[in-house]
């Protein structure tokens, strides 16, 4: 199989049944996730009409994986990663059905509680899925596998969000929650078919102190490897300056500026669909130029910050719904490239024994940044005169700050981390 010549995408899917099953589970699970997000955001917006209430939903979505991250990383490095993936899908299949019982503004707390549990399980699932990827593909297949994983997130965002918006706007919100539950069950079927043995079989001390020691070892690793730490911070920068606030502003744009469907559900679904298309196209097109070479990947991440600033500037005009969609597409191409390429760098550079803890720390940082950003956006909409356009304009300038810091590091980076360490001890 010539993965380098062809990109390896179709060849990998055809020839590697373990990756094919993991990928299939990701497809159906993500489809339901976007149904759930559109429905829950529209539900909160229709019940309250409050920017703070909507931002509270996104805060709950982000704080849950942040708080679970110490356990998640240790678990992903200690236990059977396949079994962890199945367990989190089981819990989420049950929990999302609880949204069906929310009927009035007085039950808003239940939306937040269910969201918290659902996303806590996602906080275990995300680093575990990233950690298992190099265990089921060869080093030559890893770049293609990561690109497919990132593109799948984007494609399913496009289809799932658009379908969720149509269902929520046309049929009401509750069918989306039933569909979401069913997708987790189907995901379990696919993941259960993966033939996988953990890389290590050594027994672990089950005490809290031992788990804490393992978690602290992961933090020490990042403190001692500044190059890895800086890569790990990239998604946090993306979510702090762009994604968290944009999630809230999308709801406000769909509800208050270009409302289509019940609670702007169709508008919101279409906007998320353009996010999906952009975040899928960005890394795929960029990888055709960069390949999986470390230096080009780093340069592409810098360029992605500039692309995001351009996209936000276009959206800020609010000239028309078409302009909003075009700006969203451009912004998402930059964000998707940063996301996939920073993951690729970590997959190539981080040793297997510590991989789960690094990915869980990355996820903890990005979720904390997401919660902070979403909370700030909701507060600003309700308590300042900036408005939607003013916030977007501010964001288009602010996102260049982490881009400049990354450029400085890249310019003076001397390659102290070696890709050969990824499978080492």
* Domain assignments of the chain as residue spans, ordered by start: 3-195+206-423
Residue 95 burial (CB count, 10 A): 21
For residue 419, the model assigns a pLDDT of 44
For residue 207, the model assigns a pLDDT of 55
CA distance 354 to 343: 15
CA atoms within 13 A on the CB side of 133: 31
Please, is 320 exposed, middle or buried when counting C-beta atoms within 10 Å of its C-beta (0-12, 13-18, 19+)? exposed
**Under 8 Å between Cβ of 111 and 174:** no
**Under 8 Å between Cβ of 360 and 233:** no
Class level of CATH domain 3-195+206-423: mainly alpha
CA distance 287 to 296: 9
CA distance 262 to 269: 11
For residue 424, the model assigns a pLDDT of 45
Residue in 231, 238, 230, 256 with CA at minimum distance from that of residue 373: 238
CB environment 203-242: b (16+ within 10 A), e (fewer)? eeeeeeeebeebbeebeebbeebebbbbbbbbbbbbbbbb
CA distance 204 to 134: 22
CA atoms within 13 A on the CB side of 4: 4
For residue 109, the model assigns a pLDDT of 86
**Under 8 Å between Cβ of 44 and 57:** yes
For residue 327, the model assigns a pLDDT of 93
CA distance 276 to 394: 24
CA atoms within 13 A on the CB side of 297: 21
Identify the DSSP state of 207: S
**Please, what are the averages of pLDDT over each run of 10 residues along the chain (425 residues)?**
52 86 85 76 77 76 79 78 89 89 83 89 83 81 81 72 66 76 90 79 54 76 88 91 85 78 72 83 87 87 95 90 91 92 88 80 84 82 83 90 90 57 45
Q: Show the 3-state SS of 277-344.
A: HHHHHHHHHHHHHHCCCHHHHHHHHHHHHHHHHHHHHHHHCCCCHHHHHHHHHHHHHHHHHHHHHHHH
Q: What is the CA radius of gyration of the chain?
A: 20
């Amino acid at each position: 199989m010539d993965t380098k010549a062809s990109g390896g995408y179709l060849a990998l899917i055809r020839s590697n049944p373990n990756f094919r099953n993991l990928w299939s589970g990701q497809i159906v699970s993500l489809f339901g996730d976007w149904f759930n997000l559109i429905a829950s955001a529209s539900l909160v917006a229709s019940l309250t009409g409050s920017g703070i209430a909507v931002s509270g939903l996104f805060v709950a979505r982000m704080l849950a994986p942040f708080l679970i991250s110490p356990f998640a990383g240790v678990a992903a490095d200690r236990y059977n990663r396949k079994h962890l993936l199945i367990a989190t899908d089981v819990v989420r299949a049950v929990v999302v059905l609880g949204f069906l019982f929310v009927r009035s503004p007085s039950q808003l707390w239940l939306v937040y509680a269910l969201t918290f549990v659902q996303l806590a399980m996602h906080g275990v699932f995300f680093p575990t899925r990233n950690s298992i990827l190099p265990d089921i593909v060869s080093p030559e297949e890893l770049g293609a596998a990561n690109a497919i994983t990132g593109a799948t997130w984007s494609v399913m965002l496009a289809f799932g969000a658009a379908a969720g918006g149509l269902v929520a706007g046309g049929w009401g919100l509750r069918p989306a929650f039933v569909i979401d539950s069913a997708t987790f069950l189907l995901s379990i079927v696919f993941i259960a078919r993966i033939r996988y043995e953990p890389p290590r079989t050594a027994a672990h001390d089950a005490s809290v102190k031992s788990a804490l020691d393992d978690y602290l070892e992961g933090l020490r690793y990042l403190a001692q490897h500044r190059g890895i730490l800086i890569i790990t911070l990239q998604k946090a920068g993306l979510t702090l300056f762009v994604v968290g606030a944009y999630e809230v502003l999308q709801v406000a744009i769909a509800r208050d500026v270009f409302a289509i469907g019940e609670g702007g559900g169709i508008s919101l679904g279409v906007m998320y669909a353009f996010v999906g298309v952009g975040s899928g196209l960005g890394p795929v097109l960029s990888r055709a130029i960069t390949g999986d070479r470390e230096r080009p990947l780093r340069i592409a991440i810098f360029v992605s910050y500039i692309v995001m600033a351009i996209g936000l500037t276009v959206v800020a005009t609010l000239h028309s719904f078409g302009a909003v969609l075009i700006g969203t597409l451009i912004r998402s191409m930059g964000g998707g490239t940063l996301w996939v390429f920073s993951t690729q760098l970590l997959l190539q550079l981080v040793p297997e024994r510590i991989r789960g803890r690094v990915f869980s720390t990355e996820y903890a940082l990005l979720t904390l940044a997401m919660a902070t950003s979403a909370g700030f956006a909701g507060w600003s909409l309700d308590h300042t005169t900036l408005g939607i356009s003013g916030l977007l304009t501010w964001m288009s300038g602010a996102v260049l700050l982490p881009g400049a810091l990354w450029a400085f590091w890249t310019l003076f980076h001397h390659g102290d981390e070696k890709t050969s360490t990824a499978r080492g001890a």
